[in-house]
Amino acid sequence: MTQTPEVAVAMDWGGTWARAAVVDRGGNFQWQSRVANAAGASKDQLLEVAGNLLTEAIEQSGSRWLAGVGVAVAGPVDSETGTLFDPPNLPLLDGVSLKALWEPSLGCPVLVGNDANLAALGEYQFGAGRVSREQPVPPRTLVYMTVSTGIGGGVVDRGQMFLGANGLAVEIGHMSIDNGDSAPACSCGSRGCLESLASGTAIARIAAERVSGEDSRILEQAGGKVEAITSQMVFDAAAQGDGLANAILDGVVFALAVGLTNVLHLYNPDLVVLGGGVTNGLIQLDLLPRIQALMMERAMSKRHRDFRLVPSQLGDAVGLAGAAALVWQESGGPMSVKS
Ligand SMILES: [Zn+2]
């Protein structure tokens, strides 16, 4: 009988931290650690620090058989070669193949993917889509959307990530929602995108624009300083019944519902998973049912309405879980979906 791999090493490499974990086939984290990307570090220094963290993770996996290393990075990734293109958080790594670089030195397969696509795969295998007694079959089509400083997402269809020709599919935050003359500018260069209307950054900006002259708890929370307003302050003020905060969040809920209705029509998901800090704020105020109700109202058919809207189960571990899920998928799938 051949030995089956016991653990995967996962890395989630963001703009501030490189995080790594040793993850078993059930998605359980056996060890985890992180290192900061040093400010002003050169490309070689960044790669060395992250590479050392992976070496440490592999050491921590001990004598257990390692299936491989999975790495999640923001931005487009060539899934064959593991090459990064214009990674927004790590611009120095443009054109670098982490696979070519690390496979020889680490001595195991290295798989690289876009963090939002991998987050969807992580939720599919180890989070909201996980097969359980309550959910005896996996979702056919899972859409994951993270609403935090920005808005991103991914789609897993029948167990496979939907990547697009150049790995750039499902830029869910940049679907156009508002095409009016006063639509706000978006970080992508366009106007009126979902991200410019409903991200944490957008909520803080809208509050700063509207709070002046108003007697609002938002400004109170910010110590009277418009520039200190955060999206969390808007959620806190709304929870205390502040009218302006609730009006701002009405707009956010509407924009998200319109965007997610587009998602229903594009992908026909049976499971929609929402993650990120803004989602946590919406959950605190019990606003997910309102988003779902608006989606139901706008969806074009009964079959498009046949979906569940649920919060992420993995929180900020979703990128690591997704990177591990990629390794398990490439090495024959996790135990839980073995036929
Ligand atoms: Zn945009």
Mean pLDDT of the 2-12 span = 85
> What is the CA(14)–ligand 1 centre distance, in A?
20
pLDDT for the residue 134: 85
- Which DSSP string corresponds to 29-83? EEEEEEEE--TT--HHHHHHHHHHHHHHHHHHTTTSPEEEEEEEESS-EETTTTE
> What is the CA(240)–ligand 1 centre distance, in A?
31
Give dist(CA 138, CA 28) in Å, integer.
Answer: 19
Same fold, 7-124+317-337 and 134-313: yes
User: Which of 313, 269, 312, 309 has the alpha carbon at shortest distance from 156?
Assistant: 269
Q: Does residue 233 carry a pLDDT above 80?
A: yes
> What is the CA(159)–ligand 1 centre distance, in A?
28
> What is the CA(242)–ligand 1 centre distance, in A?
29
Q: Does residue 152 carry a pLDDT above 90?
A: yes
Rg (the chain; Cα; Å): 21
Q: Does residue 26 carry a pLDDT above 70?
A: yes
Residues with CB under 5 A from ligand 1 (ion): 174, 186, 188, 190, 193
> What is the CA(278)–ligand 1 centre distance, in A?
17
pLDDT digit string, tens, across residues 190-211:
999 999 999 999 999 999 999 9
> What is the CA(190)–ligand 1 centre distance, in A?
5
Q: Does residue 20 carry a pLDDT above 50?
A: yes
Give the architecture-level CATH label for domain 7-124+317-337.
2-Layer Sandwich (3.30)
User: Which of 232, 320, 335 has the alpha carbon at shortest distance from 9?
Assistant: 320
* pLDDT bucket at 336, cuts 50 / 70 / 90: very low
> What is the CA(199)–ligand 1 centre distance, in A?
11
> What is the CA(302)–ligand 1 centre distance, in A?
30
pLDDT digit string, tens, across residues 302-313:
999 999 999 999
Contact indicator for 20, 32 with CB cutoff of 8 Å: yes
> What is the CA(209)–ligand 1 centre distance, in A?
19
> What is the CA(143)–ligand 1 centre distance, in A?
19
> What is the CA(94)–ligand 1 centre distance, in A?
21
> What is the CA(215)–ligand 1 centre distance, in A?
32
Q: Does residue 116 carry a pLDDT above 70?
A: yes
Sequence spans of domains, the chain:
7-124+317-337, 134-313
Q: Does residue 335 carry a pLDDT above 70?
A: no
Which homologous superfamily is 134-313 in? ATPase, nucleotide binding domain (3.30.420.40)
> What is the CA(172)–ligand 1 centre distance, in A?
9
> What is the CA(167)–ligand 1 centre distance, in A?
17
Give dist(CA 106, CA 5) in Å, integer.
Answer: 16
* pLDDT bucket at 2, cuts 50 / 70 / 90: low
Q: Report how far apart, in Å, the C-alpha atoms of 178 and of each of 175, 246, 252 are.
A: 9, 20, 12
> What is the CA(81)–ligand 1 centre distance, in A?
28
